[in-house]
Amino acid sequence: MIAARLSAAGHRVALTARSADQLTEVAGKLSGPSLSLPADVTDPDATNSVFDKIEEAWGPVEVLVLNAGAAVAKPLTKVTDEEWQSQLELNLTAPFRAMRRAIPAMVERGWGRIVVIASTAGKIGEPNVGAYTASKHGAIGLVRTASAELARTGVTVNAVCPGYVDTPMTDGWVTRIAARTGKPEADIRQSLADKQPIRRLIAPDEVADAVELCVLSAAITGQAINVDGGTVQS
């Protein structure tokens, strides 16, 4: 949805994910030019490779939206070292690498927009998502530091913090919780919706609204914008 929104606004959109098939599907729905660049962003060499291909085709990246993410849903004492590290790599280290690669060209041009899709889990603690919560707290801290460093350069850096969104990631979360607890998936999904005062899951286009605002405004920077139906008031 974010890619479609930016494409409709006139941006050329480069897409990256591990699944080439998913990239092809998304690219086929965009209204403007696109590049599909399969990559695993947790691979230290992948970021430079993706940026090199974009720059060769179109020049420096002007708008960077960092939306890769996943969650491990289990009690903290059950999280393995491998699961902990994988959450940090995907949700925190991969955005850091991409930001580090994009910022110099943005500063040189005097304009850039960076938006990290974080989570309300980056602002509060919830049971059974310790590794995810820690990584998202870190992502918001990264955004705040980068925005402070870049405040006078024309480059803005923000986080968008969704609550529970109606996406495949939430579907997977529901399935894992059901497997662990034995509760019906429909009941779990409803319980997630009920955590939000609006009593429903957030729609993907509502997250895209916040991303688009961050791209449009030069005065919004260093923020972690909640899109959560009023769950976290800040």
Active-site annotation, residues: 132
8 A C-beta contact, residue 204 and residue 164: no
> Token pair for residue 202?
């957030």
Cα torsion 104, 107, 112, 115 to 10°: value is: 50
Q: How far apart are CA 72 and CA 51, in angstroms?
A: 29
Q: DSSP letter at 63? A: E
Neighbours of 134 (CB within 10 A): 20
Nearest to 120 by CA among 134, 136, 142: 136
Neighbours of 114 (CB within 10 A): 27
Name the H helices within 116-222.
130-150, 168-181, 185-194, 204-216
Query: How far does CA 119 lie from the centroid of its chain?
Result: 8
> Token pair for residue 41?
């962003």
